[in-house]
């Protein structure tokens, strides 16, 4: 399977480690798997973007949803999912128009923008309008760059941690299905891209349990500077690699 993905053993180990770190972050704060891992994966193995990394996040989200199901904002999930539809179509068009190398650079730019978005702290109420808008942005970013979390993080940044984790954990898998369908319609999905995601299940499991262990010890906000700094560095690395 590694051969079909043109992935060396060394590359697999590095990607698996990066996914473990990202899964631990998402298990703690509700998002971050692909914000952390996508730019580094784009620099190491861009062929895994966006399809494989979208699929990788689904089992993790399901596990978190089962744990935090009592805190889910179902109304928000509905509007976010509706917004994902046009956003995912736009993201699929971007993927179809760019080469693998250009896509890696695009991922870097999008992640840097996502980091800037995540730094914004504005008190606001959550309603159908901003939920729909966040869904559109999330769908575009997830389909084009496997990083759909920041728009939702901006929307829910002042909500309780359990609500953030539970709501995102339901919205992400629904959005992933929409993104994969949009990518498949554009001819950007191959069987190996989905199957190879299974090789990263051990990393996801380890990251999930680490994240759950950290919940009681670390406040979600205390991780934000480190997460965003690491993601920004990865985004810069992906841009540099695409230019070399």
For 66-120, write each residue's pLDDT tens digit.
999 999 999 999 999 999 999 999 999 988 888 877 877 887 888 888 888 777 7
pLDDT higher than 70, residue 191: yes
Sign of CA pseudo-dihedral 225, 18, 180, 6: positive
pLDDT higher than 80, residue 33: yes
- Radius of gyration in angstroms for the set of CA atoms belonging to the chain, rounded to a whole number: 16
pTM score, whole prediction = 0.86
Residue 154's pLDDT band, with cuts at 50, 70 and 90, is confident
Predicted local distance difference test score (pLDDT) of residue 226: 66
* SS3 state of residue 147: coil
| 201-215 pLDDT tens trace | 999 999 999 999 988
Within a 10 A sphere around the Cβ of 141, how many other Cβ atoms? 30
Q: Provide DSSP, 148-216.
A: -HHHHHHHHTTS-HHHHHHHHHHHHHHHHHHHHHHHHHTT---HHHHHGGGGGHHHHHHHHHHHHHHHT
Q: What average pLDDT does range 9-32 have in this prediction?
A: 93
* SS3 state of residue 237: helix
Place of tokens 């389909």: 143
* SS3 state of residue 227: helix
Task: Find all residues with CB under 8 Å of 160, minimum gap 6, and list them.
Answer: 71
Tell me how many helices (H) and strands (E) the chain has.
11, 0
Place of tokens 């759950």: 212
Q: At what angle do helices 100-119 and 149-156 cross, to 10 degrees?
A: 10
Encoded tokens for 30: 């509700």
Q: What average pLDDT does range 220-237 have in this prediction?
A: 69
Predicted local distance difference test score (pLDDT) of residue 53: 94
Cα–Cα distance between 30 and 23 in angstroms, integer?
A: 9
Cα–Cα distance between 28 and 22 in angstroms, integer?
A: 10
% helix / strand / coil in the chain, to the nearest 5? 80, 0, 20
pLDDT higher than 80, residue 224: no
pLDDT higher than 60, residue 136: yes
Q: What average pLDDT does range 34-45 have in this prediction?
A: 86
* SS3 state of residue 32: coil
């Amino acid at each position: 399977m590694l051969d079909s993905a043109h992935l060396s053993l060394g590359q697999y180990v590095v990607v698996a480690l990066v996914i473990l770190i990202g899964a631990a972050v998402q298990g703690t704060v509700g998002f971050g798997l692909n914000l952390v891992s996508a730019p580094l994966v784009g620099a190491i193995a861009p062929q895994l973007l966006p399809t494989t990394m979208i699929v990788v996040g689904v089992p993790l989200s399901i596990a978190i949803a089962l744990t935090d199901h009592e805190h889910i904002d179902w109304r928000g999930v509905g509007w976010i999912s509706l917004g994902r539809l046009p956003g995912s179509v736009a993201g699929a068009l971007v993927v179809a128009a760019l080469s693998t190398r250009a896509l890696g650079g695009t991922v870097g730019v999008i992640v840097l923008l996502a980091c800037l978005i995540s730094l914004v702290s504005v008190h606001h109420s959550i309603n159908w309008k901003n939920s729909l808008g966040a869904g559109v942005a999330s769908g575009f970013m997830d389909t084009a760059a496997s990083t759909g979390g920041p728009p939702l993080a901006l929307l829910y940044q002042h909500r309780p941690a359990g609500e953030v984790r539970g709501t995102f954990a339901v919205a992400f898998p629904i959005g992933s299905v929409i993104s994969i369908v949009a990518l498949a319609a554009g001819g950007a999905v191959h069987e190996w891209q989905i199957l190879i995601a299974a090789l990263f299940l051990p990393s996801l499991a380890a990251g999930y349990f680490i994240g759950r262990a950290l919940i009681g010890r670390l406040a979600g906000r205390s991780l934000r500077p480190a997460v965003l700094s690491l993601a920004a560095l990865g985004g810069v690395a992906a841009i540099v690699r695409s230019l070399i």
